[in-house]
Amino acid sequence: MNQIPLEHILFVSTALFFIGVYGFFTRKNMIMMLMSVELILNSVNINFITFNKYLFPDKLNGVFFSIFIIVIAAAEAAVAIAIIINLYRSHNSIDVDDTNEMKY
């Protein structure tokens, strides 16, 4: 069976990463920013799995790491959404530009 070349998968994960970064920088809605962060994390997951599969097929380190990251992402999503809800209660908005009190 034909394997997908490593470069193709890395291309996908890099694209995914920069889409996430772009989204994180440009979206004003905090939910959208959170989703961008998830994209970044998932691109990293893909990298882990791919390198594990292609470079060290007889080891499981990469798989463990990606599972670990998924768990972290779940926890992070919970915390972030809690923050966003609290922010909404206090500011009546989840737009990041409305929360710029912490400046000089």
Token duo for residue 76: 């992070």
Q: Tell whether residue 24 is a contact of other proteins (CB under 8 A).
A: yes
x/- letters, 27..66, toward other proteins (CB under 8 A) = ------x---------------------------------
Q: Tell whether residue 21 is a contact of other proteins (CB under 8 A).
A: yes
The footprint of other proteins on residues 71-100 (CB under 8 A) is 96-97, 99-100
Widest distance between CA atoms in the chain: 60
Amino acid at 34: L
Cα 90 from Cα 2, distance rounded (Å): 55
